[in-house]
Chain A
Amino acid sequence: MSVLVVAEHDNSDIAPATLNTVTAAAEIGGDITVLVAGSGSAAAADAAAKIAGVSKVLHADSAEYANGLAENVAPLVVALAAGYSHVLAPATSFGKNVLPRAAALLDVQQISEISGVVDADTFVRPIYAGNAMATVKSSDAVKVITVRTTAFDAAASEGGSAAVEAADAKGDAGLSSYVGAELSSSERPELTSAKIVISGGRGMQNGENFAMLEEVADKLGAAVGASRAAVDAGFVPNDYQVGQTGKVVAPDLYIAVGISGAIQHLAGMKDSKVIVAINKDEEAPIFQVADYGLVADLFEAVPALSKELDG
């Protein structure tokens, strides 16, 4: 067996999600090759070569891979896939965009967002917002798989010494072009890999009130998230959303503030180790998954929490 991992990176660093995907590849078994497709991406390829357990890095460096456009990256993955039994990518907005396109070109039924490896052909994945877990077996010659990153530990980013080999670029498909991006910048940890997450919901009432959560987050070294309701209402940007169709998080501690707990939100956080819910409505479904529930007005409880953390 041999596994090709399509790396997510920003041309200089490897995204943490790639490290979780390498661990999923190791559970499948066999040699692990990491594909770094980028532009001016030598640093990212070198970083990939240092990941523990990786035996080879394929590095395709060309202008058409600068922004990870699916129309350009997918044909490259297809050209390389023939030598591998499995092709994996993280189930991030990058992997979800690129990998199904490659799977269709390979005439393979992709297995999305696996949370477990049973054997080389058989995988566990959540369906219905995680309200059911399906075990599925693939009969395709190559298995094309995206990986739920919270279900697998991160591989060590140091310790490996894989050889970096150049891969031929496939050219620009000429179907799409990158215009620009508005990325949220934050000094806080990244939401999907943070050890502690504090999220706000509709109960926060407006975006300004999220400053209360940020204050607590900074004392705990936490990331700040939100429910769909808070994002739809415009309190915070889309990249804060935790849930079935947003980000899936599984930190050591998840603090849900003013979040009622719709099943779509629970889908994104119920695998957290410890869940705290703060809500004034004692009937809120969030309390059914909480380890510690505090029935209180968040506008009193959150400032009190901030003060208590100083003590």
Chain B
Amino acid sequence: MKVLVPVKRVIDYNVKVRVKADQTGVELANVKMSMNPFDEISVEEAIRLKEAGTATEVIAVSLGAQQCQETIRTALAMGADRGIHVLHDGDLEPLAVAKMLKAVVDKEQPELVILGKQAIDDDANQTGQMLAALLGWGQATFASKIEMGAGEAKVTREIDGGLETISLKLPAIVTTDLRLNEPRYASLPNIMKAKKKPIDQFSPADLGVDPAPRLETLKVEEPAKREAGVTVADVAELVSKLRTEAKVI
């Protein structure tokens, strides 16, 4: 069974994001970039399926600028077998990404695609669901446990009220939540080995997809700032302030 794992290059989760002065977006120049944390969880899960003998090949795919190849190399260093890069400079929205991933799926015929539930840059939480729709496959979003069976996958999902388990016919889409696994760090020998693993490159046109955005970003602003608070000396002062000043209890 082939497993496809889409990975996105995003601003590292530890970086304090700054809005550009001209309000066209956020500052990306000289900012540390990393693999979207949820995608690391996807890569880890796919590799574990391979180690368990369930998966035969793990393919990492990334869409975007040339530097996305670094993100693919990270997945290869973790243990993915080969990479696919769809080169495109400029913004990509989830619908266009899902269409291009569908073209890759049509070509590669994986039985399982594991995606992060959301990317920590645009916080859209759409691509997996959209890809499932375009392929006409079942979807298990926000997964905290995946059990592969014959022709089906049983997936536990993190939902607002607790946990829910659903069963999907294969092929299927799974999107990962935080508790699915703890991603490994790539070892130095594996980082060296990853440099020799193949990465195929395509353009959106090769895949027959128009990547033009549907949404126009009119402006990007700083959120409203909170006013500085006060330090209270003890619990008694805290409760008194909450009662008489803030009037919230």
B126-170 CB contacts (< 8 Å) to partner A: 126-127, 129-134, 136-142, 144, 154, 157-169
User: Which B-chain residue is minimally distant from A10 (CB atoms)?
Assistant: B161
Whether A263 and B16, one on each chain, are in contact in the complex, defined by CB atoms closer than 8 angstroms, is yes
Whether B217 and A136, one on each chain, are in contact in the complex, defined by CB atoms closer than 8 angstroms, is yes
Contacting B94 at CB < 8 Å: which of A97, A100, A105? A100
Q: How many whole Å from B107's CB to the nearest CB in chain A?
A: 19
CA of A138 to CA of B216, assembled, Å: 6
Any B CB within 8 A of the CB of A273? yes
CA of A71 to CA of B95, assembled, Å: 18
Determine the chain A residues whose CB is within 8 A of the CB of B26 once the complex forms. 127-128, 131-132
A interface SS class = mixed
- The stretch among B44-52, B191-199, B239-247 that forms the contact with chain A is B239-247
Contacting A305 at CB < 8 Å: which of B19, B162, B179, B235? B235
Supposing A133-B220, A276-B242, A295-B231 touch, asked if A179 and B167 sit within 8 A by C-beta, the answer is yes
- The stretch among B60-68, B72-80, B113-121 that forms the contact with chain A is B113-121
B25-73 CB contacts (< 8 Å) to partner A: 26, 38
Chain A interface size band reads 35 or more
Supposing A128-B17, A175-B168, A239-B159 touch, asked if A136 and B216 sit within 8 A by C-beta, the answer is yes
Any A CB within 8 A of the CB of B122? yes
Determine the chain B residues whose CB is within 8 A of the CB of A231 once the complex forms. 178-179
Determine the chain A residues whose CB is within 8 A of the CB of B249 once the complex forms. 196, 220, 253, 309
User: Which B-chain residue is minimally distant from A311 (CB atoms)?
Assistant: B239
Determine the chain B residues whose CB is within 8 A of the CB of A176 once the complex forms. 138-140, 166-169
Whether B220 and A104, one on each chain, are in contact in the complex, defined by CB atoms closer than 8 angstroms, is no
Q: How many whole Å from A260's CB to the nearest CB in chain B?
A: 13
Determine the chain A residues whose CB is within 8 A of the CB of B130 once the complex forms. 100-101, 103-104
Any B CB within 8 A of the CB of A238? yes
Interface centre among B11, B134, B141 (most CB of A within 10 A): B141
Whether A93 and B165, one on each chain, are in contact in the complex, defined by CB atoms closer than 8 angstroms, is no
Any A CB within 8 A of the CB of B218? yes
Any A CB within 8 A of the CB of B223? yes
Any B CB within 8 A of the CB of A126? yes
Any B CB within 8 A of the CB of A170? no
Interface centre among A96, A173, A311 (most CB of B within 10 A): A96
CA of A120 to CA of B22, assembled, Å: 25
Whether B164 and A181, one on each chain, are in contact in the complex, defined by CB atoms closer than 8 angstroms, is yes
A73-113 CB contacts (< 8 Å) to partner B: 74, 92-94, 96-105, 107-113
User: Which B-chain residue is minimally distant from A306 (CB atoms)?
Assistant: B235
Interface centre among A101, A126, A276, A290 (most CB of B within 10 A): A101
Any A CB within 8 A of the CB of B106? no
Whether A70 and B238, one on each chain, are in contact in the complex, defined by CB atoms closer than 8 angstroms, is no
Whether A135 and B219, one on each chain, are in contact in the complex, defined by CB atoms closer than 8 angstroms, is yes
Whether A132 and B129, one on each chain, are in contact in the complex, defined by CB atoms closer than 8 angstroms, is no
Whether B239 and A305, one on each chain, are in contact in the complex, defined by CB atoms closer than 8 angstroms, is yes
Any B CB within 8 A of the CB of A232? yes
CA of A103 to CA of B158, assembled, Å: 22
User: Which A-chain residue is minimally distant from B159 (CB atoms)?
Assistant: A93
Supposing A126-B223, A244-B120 touch, asked if A182 and B162 sit within 8 A by C-beta, the answer is yes
Any B CB within 8 A of the CB of A274? yes
CA of A132 to CA of B11, assembled, Å: 13
Whether A196 and B163, one on each chain, are in contact in the complex, defined by CB atoms closer than 8 angstroms, is no
User: Which A-chain residue is minimally distant from B19 (CB atoms)?
Assistant: A132
Any A CB within 8 A of the CB of B111? no
Determine the chain B residues whose CB is within 8 A of the CB of A292 once the complex forms. 229-232, 238, 241-242, 246
Determine the chain B residues whose CB is within 8 A of the CB of A287 once the complex forms. 229, 231
A142-200 CB contacts (< 8 Å) to partner B: 173-184, 192, 196
Determine the chain B residues whose CB is within 8 A of the CB of A70 once the complex forms. 129, 132, 139, 141
CA of A180 to CA of B166, assembled, Å: 7
CA of A198 to CA of B164, assembled, Å: 25
Any B CB within 8 A of the CB of A140? yes
Determine the chain B residues whose CB is within 8 A of the CB of A289 once the complex forms. 226, 229
Whether B223 and A132, one on each chain, are in contact in the complex, defined by CB atoms closer than 8 angstroms, is yes
Contact pattern, A 42-83, Cβ under 8 Å of B = 1, otherwise 0: 000000000000000000000000010111001000000000
Whether B122 and A127, one on each chain, are in contact in the complex, defined by CB atoms closer than 8 angstroms, is yes
User: Which A-chain residue is minimally distant from B123 (CB atoms)?
Assistant: A127
Interface centre among A122, A184, A291 (most CB of B within 10 A): A291
Contacting B123 at CB < 8 Å: which of A74, A112, A136? A112
Q: How many whole Å from A234's CB to the nearest CB in chain B?
A: 9
Whether B16 and A274, one on each chain, are in contact in the complex, defined by CB atoms closer than 8 angstroms, is no
Whether A294 and B238, one on each chain, are in contact in the complex, defined by CB atoms closer than 8 angstroms, is yes
Contact residues of A with B, CB < 8 Å? 67, 69-71, 74, 92-94, 96-105, 107-113, 122, 126-140, 173-184, 192, 196, 220, 228, 231-232, 237-239, 244-245, 247, 252-253, 263-264, 270, 273-276, 287, 289-296, 301, 304-305, 308-309, 311
Can you report 15 residue pairs joining A to B where beta carbons are below 8 Å apart? A93-B141, A97-B141, A107-B95, A135-B217, A139-B216, A179-B165, A239-B161, A273-B248, A274-B246, A291-B230, A293-B230, A295-B231, A296-B234, A301-B235, A305-B235
Q: Which 7 A-B pairs have the closest CB atoms?
A: A175-B138, A104-B130, A109-B214, A100-B129, A104-B133, A100-B126, A179-B165
